[in-house]
Structure 1
Amino acid sequence: MTSTTSPASTPSTLGFAILAVLARGNRTGYDLAAAMRRPVGYFWTARHSQIHAELQKLRAAELVAYESEHGPGPQDKKVYHLTPEGRRALREWVTEPPRERPERDELVLKAYASWLAEPGMVRRMFAEQLAAHEERLAEYERHEASFGGPPALGDPRFGNYATLLCGLGYERHRIEWCRWMLSRLGEDA
Structure 2
Amino acid sequence: MTSTLGFAILAVLARGDRTGYDLATAMRRPIGYFWTAGHSQIHAELQKLRSADLVGFESEHGPGPQGRKVYHLTDAGMRALRDWVTEPPRERPERDELVLKTYASWLAEPDLIREMFADQLAAHEARLAEYEHHEASFDEPPAFGDPRFGNYATLRCGLSYERHRADWCRWMLAQLGRSGERPIGR
TM value normalised by structure 2: 0.96
Corresponding residue to 1:141 among 123, 132, 144 = 132
Segments of 4+ moved more than 3 angstroms: none
How far has the Cα of 1:145 moved from its partner? 0.8
Specify the alignment match of 1:108 in structure 2. 99
Secondary structure, in 3 states, of the residue corresponding to 2:56?
A: strand
Q: 1:89-128 maps to which residues of 2 (within 5 A)?
A: 89-128=80-119
Corresponding residue to 1:176 among 159, 167, 172 = 167
CA RMSD of aligned residues (A): 0.6
C-alpha separation in 1, matches of 2:141 and 2:106: 43
Structure 1 unaligned residues grouped into runs of 5+ = 1-9
1:18 equivalent to 2:9? Answer: yes
Q: 1:45-124 maps to which residues of 2 (within 5 A)?
A: 45-124=36-115
Q: How many residue pairs were aligned?
A: 180
Structure 2 unaligned residues grouped into runs of 5+ = 181-186
Letter in 1 for 2:31: V
Letter in 2 for 1:77: R
TM value normalised by structure 1: 0.94
Cα displacement string for residues 142-182 of structure 1 (whole angstroms, at most 9, x for unaligned residues): 10010112101111000000000000000010011000000
C-alpha separation in 2, matches of 1:93 and 1:149: 28
Percent of matched pairs sharing the same residue? 80
Specify the alignment match of 1:3 in structure 2. none
